[in-house]
Amino acid sequence: MFPKNAWYVACTANEIDDKPLGRMICGEKLVLYRAAEGKAAALEDFCPHRGAPLSLGSVVEGKLVCGYHGLEMGCDGKTVAMPGQRVRGFPAIRSFPVIERYGFVWVWPGDPALSDPAKLHHLEWAESPDWAYGGGLFHIQCDYRLMIDNLMDLTHETYVHATSIGQKEIDETPTKTVTEGDTVTTARHMENIMAPPFWRMALRGNHLADDVPVDRWQICRFTPPSHVLIEVGVAHAGKGGYHADPAHKVSSIVVDFITPETETSIWYFWGMARNFQPHDKALTASIREGQGKIFSEDLEMLESQQRNLLAHPQRQLLKLNIDSGGVQSRRVIERLIAQEDEASSKQEVAE
């Protein structure tokens, strides 16, 4: 249902600063915590003594302590100690490769032997002082592919987000979709239009006029396993659009890290990175609030869509030209899952 040999966002860095965190990722129940020297770690959320969730325990001197009987676990999944008992011979539980980077904790739920930090996408905006970022997390009851469909076809903005970022010109402007390797890009460029409310606010935040025609762009990029980054912005009309000088535009990257929980639920890490007025904390808060309201509108639609699809599994859905980004993204996912299945079958035969 989802690729497992990949890096997924498991949590934000501060979610595990105070205590262990239980979270299901790609059908795997994990406990995430800070081990020795504050290093992020992830284990199977299962105490080998009596099966209690380790996420209900605590961290003492870098060791994860079960909250039921005090069994201590190391970050390699091996038992360390237990008051009055000999437990070092217990079989190890599963540990998961972890990377902490860009303010997130990433986990590899598949074969640990295949995990490679180099396979984690480089996010230049997350390391540059010229960019600011604000975001949040939603727990949504929908198939992760429905969210990818949603983000790779922004036509829905005209209707779902009519009071914030939607406008009729989105419907009227065709998109171009291209697949290169595992990356799918869908782009839409609108010229000489009036900015919708959210972008008028952003223009004012960058000390630009908000009541003049603008050129607007939306460039959606899907990369496996389930990440969508969207370049968005507006520039005063006639100044070069996407390529306009920064003095005439506001541009951002909508950040969408979609982590499957189950086949019909996700952890959705959303946010916006911007390269204008990066030190304006009030503007960051304002944009984050606006984005949160926008994404909450998607949440209601996606959960309702999922319920409909579960109630009518036999129904065939229409595919239109506006769906090309989502369709091609799904093809990439299907290919990667097939490759994993083939490799797993070969390994089983070899054993």
User: pTM of the full predicted structure?
Assistant: 0.94
User: Are 199 and 152 within one domain?
Assistant: yes
Does 128 lie in the same domain as 82?
no
Residue 33: which residues within 8 A CB-CB, separation 6 or more?
16, 19, 20, 21, 40, 41, 59, 64
State residue 350's pLDDT score. 66
Does a structural domain hold residue 343? no
We report the CATH number of the domain holding residue 23 as 2.102.10.10
- In this model, does residue 134 exceed pLDDT 90? yes
Q: Is residue 66 part of a domain?
A: yes
- What pLDDT does 342 receive? 87
Examine residue 16 and state whether it is found in any structural domain, yes or no. Answer: yes
Last residue of a domain, one of 82, 104, 119: 119
Of 101, 119, 137, which residue is a domain's last?
119
Whether the predicted pLDDT of 351 surpasses 70: no
Give yes or no for residue 348 having a pLDDT over 90.
Answer: no
Do residues 34 and 94 both lie within one domain? yes
Within-domain flag for 92: yes
Q: Is 48 a domain residue?
A: yes
Whether the Cβ atoms of residue 104 and residue 257 lie closer than 8 Å to each other = yes
State the CATH number of the domain containing residue 255: 3.90.380.10
Is the domain of 199 the same as that of 129?
yes
What is the structure's pLDDT at 117?
95
Q: Are residues 168 and 96 in the same domain?
A: no
138 and 109 co-located in one domain: no
Structure-token match 């999944």, residue found: 77
Average pLDDT over residues 201-227: 96
Considering the domain boundaries, does residue 342 fall inside one? Answer: no
How far apart CA 52 and CA 32 sit, in angstroms, is 15
Closest by CA to 264, choosing from 310, 224, 228, is: 310
User: Which residue in 22, 106, 13, 20 sits closest to 63, CA to CA?
Assistant: 20
pLDDT at 349 (0 to 100) = 66
SS3 for 181-239, per residue?
CCEEEEEEEEEEECCCHHHHHHHHHCCCCCCCCEEEEEEEEEECCCEEEEEEEEEECCC
Reported in sequence order, the residue ranges of the chain that DSSP labels E, i.e. its strands, are: 8-12, 21-25, 28-34, 40-44, 58-60, 63-65, 72-73, 79-81, 95-96, 98-101, 104-107, 132-140, 176-180, 183-193, 214-223, 227-236, 249-262, 265-274
- Over pLDDT 90: what percentage of the chain? 82
Domain residue limits at 107 = 8-119
> Does residue 215 carry a pLDDT above 90?
yes
If one counts the domains in the chain, the total is: 2
- pLDDT surpasses 70 at 320: yes
**Residue 137 sits in the same domain as residue 272:** yes
Is 193's pLDDT higher than 90? yes
pLDDT in tens, 49-58: 889 999 999 9
The string of pLDDT tens digits covering residues 237-267 is 999 999 999 999 999 999 999 999 999 999 9
Would you say residue 65 lies in a domain? yes
pLDDT band at 163 (very low <50, low <70, confident <90, very high): confident
Clarify whether residues 85 and 225 are in a common domain: no
**Are 181 and 268 part of one and the same domain?**
yes
Per-residue confidence band for 167, with pLDDT thresholds at 50, 70 and 90: very high
pLDDT of residue 81: 78
Could you tell me if residue 329 is inside a domain?
yes
Position 91 pLDDT exceeds 90 = no
At 233 the pLDDT is 96
**pLDDT value of residue 239:** 97
108 and 227 co-located in one domain: no
Q: Which of 119, 151, 183 is the last residue of a domain?
A: 119
Indicate the average pLDDT of the chain: 94
Residues 113 and 185 occupy one common structural domain? no
- Do both 233 and 201 map to the same domain? yes
Q: How far is CA 52 from the centre of its chain?
A: 29
